[in-house]
Structure 1
């Protein structure tokens, strides 16, 4: 075969793959799509065109993404859900539902979508504070997406995709860091344990609604050590530079409640597989043993001074941004680097996929 013939053959293979229904992935026993709800940990650019400061569609974000494009992901490269998609044999990145670069047909054939919005939370008040997309609206977008699948793939294939897809929820961080621990309204109404219970109740409602809309394979990620985010260390006035243990205890309490709630939902929802994913432990391991993972700095972000910058502030301090982000566990003062996201994704692939797939 000549090099011209080989190139043409490769082109035909790629073209064929582009028009195969996502349901073809189930032949290998994997999910045909990945459908994502949540916050900046899994937002691929849904905030790009809405009036909020919670954006990441500018440098230095995305500098290690394909083509060096700042898509709106809060990282130097890919997110956990992008790595999960690739592990399922699907495309190596999950598109944002509101990405205007996708036509209806392209989005329906992308074998995945994220409705996530940076700055949002389980608590609708959190989304109001940040002027972003609440989880309730993300679920409304999911309803629209289902209709788009039917138009492009037909009723039967669309139903198969929805039923067999992997659903990922990653949300809750902002309810604490920009709401409960930052503003007086919720603390005036709830103790920390009361607010945790309130959030867990909202998580249950969200999963039940997704189930009613067809979700059957659901993975709900817990929170990371919130008190060890670079920004939390900076704002810890009692012991500057050290982790804020009050924030960590809140995250652990939420995770414990969430894990129990997901276990109960797994027992209660007929035909569903629902599981909690412990990401707190893997991030704790990175923070405790950075050299084991090849990290040099786990206390500061790569962006700017690494102390407080995130979103627009990250874009303003590019001259101070690190050169080698693989040495940093965090890319900005709140969000992990691509390397950290890949480590978390590998944990989920190895420990959690078998619970829901």
Structure 2
């Protein structure tokens, strides 16, 4: 009899403990939804976590095959790298799950409370950039508005408003807009001065930022355009001087990077409560291209995967049915393919964006934005 009573007492106490654990877990999950800042991502292949793999075409932007993804995920995810992207490391630092591509069929409102990734490989701020092949920034905004409507319907306006006001909105866009006129005919580029063309790119970007602000966004992160004038795919264009940086592209990038910070300061003046982190990606990337050994790389100008001089022909993974070479040790390389970085490089850049001092990432860094209420 005593044995039976003891058994029931133990079971009773066990039930109470389980109930307490269940309550604590429920409270933790509720707090996660209402208090933790979400991450919404806009941009191009630097941030695309796999949206492109859900589009059925044979574009050169595809990366849904080996050896992409070989380092961390051990299989191709649609990320144009051997492993994680800057956005993946940011999510990890912010104690968020990896933010999946918006086009992933399994997405739900529960996932959207943590954020969504709308970035798309090859995308630009202009609809004229790689038309018919990419999801441009304006269309990414429309996809975000669909998420807004979905969360408002599921959670109600008040709770959804809390999510969007506390979220961080991360942008990387513009590089493809400047590259496109060099590789294809662009009537917009040809009919305007270089300064005016750059103004169009910046204007389209800030217009989207203002739309996100109207929805409730207050905390934004931006990168300027990286040193793509020296990427392997660009530095082999002049066959008489292989490895040289493109002066025409460098000029456009310089104009953009000079004007873009002024646009952000204007937004800060005009939009009450607008806070932002701005990272000089051009400087941090160029520094690694020119001084790879300083940052633990053996090669800063050649891709790990590709073909031709500097592996600058984008055949990585047998794209378009063409053979490719693959380096032995990816951690020796800054660039994974002809124009995209390795996971190791992404991790280093993320550290600068996340916790860099004001002269590296400012006026806020991303960590400060996530902590800001």
Query: Normalising TM by the smaller chain, what interval?
Result: 0.7 to 0.9
The answer to whether residue 99 in structure 2 is matched with residue 94 in structure 1 is: yes
Q: Are the equivalent residues in 2 in contact too, given 1:55–1:312 (CA < 8 A)? A: no
**1:128 alignment counterpart:** 131
Secondary structure class of the residue paired with 2:129:
helix
Q: Are the equivalent residues in 1 in contact too, given 2:101–2:118 (CA < 8 A)? A: yes
CA deviations over 1:273-323 (Å, ceiling 9, x no partner):
134321111111111211111111111111133221157655856762112
Q: Are the equivalent residues in 2 in contact too, given 1:325–1:337 (CA < 8 A)? A: yes
**1:325 alignment counterpart:** 330
**1:104 alignment counterpart:** 108
Q: Are the equivalent residues in 1 in contact too, given 2:41–2:171 (CA < 8 A)? A: yes
CA deviations over 1:76-99 (Å, ceiling 9, x no partner):
1111111111111212x2200101
The answer to whether residue 349 in structure 2 is matched with residue 344 in structure 1 is: yes
**113 and 295 in structure 1: CA distance in 2 versus 1, 3 angstrom threshold:** same
- Name stretches of at least 5 consecutive residues in structure 2 with no aligned partner: 1-13, 357-364
Q: Distance in 1 between matches of 2:204 and 2:39?
A: 22
CA deviations over 1:41-89 (Å, ceiling 9, x no partner):
11111121223312211111111233x1211111111111111111112
Q: Are the equivalent residues in 1 in contact too, given 2:67–2:317 (CA < 8 A)? A: no
CA deviations over 1:228-285 (Å, ceiling 9, x no partner):
1110011123522211132122212111111110111011101211343211111111
**2:87 alignment counterpart:** 81
**2:4 alignment counterpart:** none
**1:183 alignment counterpart:** 184
Q: Distance in 2 between matches of 1:174 and 1:13?
A: 49
Secondary structure class of the residue paired with 1:218:
strand
Secondary structure class of the residue paired with 2:183:
coil
Q: Distance in 2 between matches of 1:18 and 1:127?
A: 45
The answer to whether residue 125 in structure 2 is matched with residue 119 in structure 1 is: no
Q: Are the equivalent residues in 1 in contact too, given 2:306–2:314 (CA < 8 A)? A: yes
Q: Are the equivalent residues in 2 in contact too, given 1:263–1:275 (CA < 8 A)? A: no
**138 and 251 in structure 1: CA distance in 2 versus 1, 3 angstrom threshold:** same
CA deviations over 1:179-231 (Å, ceiling 9, x no partner):
22122323321232221122111122111111112211111211111211110
**205 and 215 in structure 1: CA distance in 2 versus 1, 3 angstrom threshold:** same
Q: Distance in 2 between matches of 1:313 and 1:193?
A: 38
TM-score normalized by structure 1?
Answer: 0.87
TM-score normalized by structure 2?
Answer: 0.83
Q: Distance in 2 between matches of 1:290 and 1:247?
A: 22
Query: 1:214-229 to 2 correspondence within 5 Å?
Result: 214-229=216-231
Q: Are the equivalent residues in 1 in contact too, given 2:34–2:162 (CA < 8 A)? A: no
Q: Distance in 2 between matches of 1:87 and 1:74?
A: 21
CA shift for structure 1 position 15: 7.3
Q: Are the equivalent residues in 1 in contact too, given 2:304–2:327 (CA < 8 A)? A: yes
Q: Distance in 2 between matches of 1:289 and 1:350?
A: 22
**156 and 346 in structure 1: CA distance in 2 versus 1, 3 angstrom threshold:** same
Task: Tell me the number of residue pairs that the alignment of Structure 1 and Structure 2 aligns.
Answer: 339
The two structures, once aligned, show a CA RMSD in angstroms of 2.7
Q: Are the equivalent residues in 1 in contact too, given 2:316–2:325 (CA < 8 A)? A: no
Secondary structure class of the residue paired with 1:126:
coil
CA shift for structure 1 position 327: 0.7
